[in-house]
Amino acid sequence: MPDFGVRYTARQRVKAALPENFKARISTYTDRVNLGLDRTLPPTTTRPHRLHDAMRYSVLNGGKRVRPLLVYAAGECLNVDTPLLDAPAIAIELIHAFSLVHDDLPAMDNDDLRRGKPTVHKQYDEATAILAADALQPLAFAALSRIENVPADAVIGLVQLIADACGSIGMTGGQSIDLSAEGQSLSKQELEHMYALKTGALIHAAIVSACLLKVGLPPADAEALDRFGRDIGIAFQIKDDILDVEGDTEVIGKPAGSDEALNKATYPALFGIDESRARCDELLAGALGNLERFGSSAKPLVWLARYIVERGQ
Ligand code: GRG
């Protein structure tokens, strides 16, 4: 039985002195999760080669790694040992990758490009893309189950958190509402509910996973991070919509797969770009307010929250 569990060297297990500035800190954590993902995914030399090649292509073809970064930043905020955060960071990114493969399929958004490269069904074929995504989801839970030095109730808590965030009361439910809302007018409340499920649930789970790994976390701290996760998750999707509109204005017409071409119910489409920006700023301010109680240990979370709302891609 092959074992694809993540194994770090003793040096990597030691909590390294982290660089002080944002960019250097981000690349330290990005490298860390990329290493973990690489070791978790079966090699292409393992049969079936094409399936494993497609799985690796879908995960290791770029991506900002925002969700794993949030796991590590929330862990820093609570002073959780970095190695404990690897499993949820890897699991959540694998779930995210599988959702993108499905999201790009002809039955969903029918996109040809993802991260500037052919989508998985274009690079391979539709059946391989479906199977690769199918295999990424259990791989996420297998990675989670291999977490070491964590009490069983915390592991169960992580499995429940991430399963709920991924399922019909989370991302999949949000995607279902999104598909049935095409061409419809939703209230702000309805739209934000859809965003909270479709995109927010996994982002929220990234933050809360660090909370589950902190022994003796005061309930008020857990509640503050819970609220932070909810606000920043919705802000992430509104910003994604704004970027989609801004991207479309740079090309003539409505590119296939764009929100406008798909007649999607989005914040800019329903309430305009100015209101979308204002709501993003409002959510950011609310999110940051929840971090004040943590003082300077929340700095990486503050950086990431600002990055989410101010990013250019
Ligand atoms: C669970 C059966 C099943 C299907 C999945 C397709 C689907 C249901 C859900 C899709 C949810 C989805 C794609 C939401 C959009 C989230 C979003 C804004 C993605 C872009 O995330 P980034 O910007 O991407 O973090 P990178 O490329 O940086 O990783």
Q: What is the pLDDT of residue 16?
A: 45
Angle at 32 between CA 92 and CA 49, to 5 degrees: 70
Q: What is the pLDDT of residue 14?
A: 36
Please, is 231 exposed, middle or buried when counting C-beta atoms within 10 Å of its C-beta (0-12, 13-18, 19+)?
A: buried
The structure tokens listed for 223 are 């509640």
Run of H or E residues at 114: strand 113-114
Dihedral pair phi/psi, residue 114, rounded to 5°: -140, 130
Q: How far is the CA of 187 from the centre of ligand 1 (A)?
A: 22
In 3D space, the residue among 240, 241, 256, 249 whose CA is nearest the CA of residue 111 turns out to be 256
In 3D space, the residue among 64, 129, 122 whose CA is nearest the CA of residue 102 turns out to be 129
Please, is 197 exposed, middle or buried when counting C-beta atoms within 10 Å of its C-beta (0-12, 13-18, 19+)?
A: buried
Q: Which domains does the chain have, with CATH numbers?
A: 21-310 (1.10.600.10)
Q: What is the pLDDT of residue 189?
A: 97
Q: What is the pLDDT of residue 24?
A: 85
Q: Is the pTM of this model over 0.85?
A: yes
Q: Is the Cβ–Cβ distance between 88 and 159 less than 8 Å?
A: no
Bridge partners (DSSP) listed for residue 117 = 114
CA of 108, closest atom in ligand 1: 6
Q: How far is the CA of 299 from the centre of ligand 1 (A)?
A: 26
Q: What is the pLDDT of residue 258?
A: 73
How far apart CA 282 and CA 41 sit, in angstroms, is: 39
Q: What is the pLDDT of residue 18?
A: 55
Residue nearest to atom 27 of ligand 1 (CA): 63
DSSP-assigned states of every residue in 184-219: ----HHHHHHHHIIIIIHHHHHHHHHHHHTSTT--H
In 3D space, the residue among 75, 213, 109, 194 whose CA is nearest the CA of residue 156 turns out to be 213
Q: Which residues line ligand 1 (CB under 6 A)?
A: 63-64, 66, 99-100, 102-103, 108, 115, 166, 171-172, 175, 198-199, 237, 240
Q: What is the pLDDT of residue 248?
A: 65
Q: What is the pLDDT of residue 259?
A: 78
Q: Is 2 left (phi over 0), alpha (psi -120 to 50) or beta?
A: beta
Q: How far is the CA of 97 from the centre of ligand 1 (A)?
A: 7
How far apart CA 176 and CA 110 sit, in angstroms, is: 15
Q: What is the pLDDT of residue 255?
A: 64
The structure tokens listed for 155 are 């592991």
Query: Residue written as tokens 């764009």?
Result: 258
Angle, to 10 degrees, between the axis of helix 299-310 and the axis of helix 273-289? 180
Angle, to 10 degrees, between the axis of helix 22-40 and the axis of helix 299-310? 90
Q: How far is the CA of 57 from the centre of ligand 1 (A)?
A: 16
* Residue ranges of the chain whose pLDDT lies below 70: 1-20, 248-257
Three-state SS string over 258-278 comes to CCCCCCCCCHHHHHCHHHHHH
Angle at 249 between CA 243 and CA 255, to 5 degrees: 85
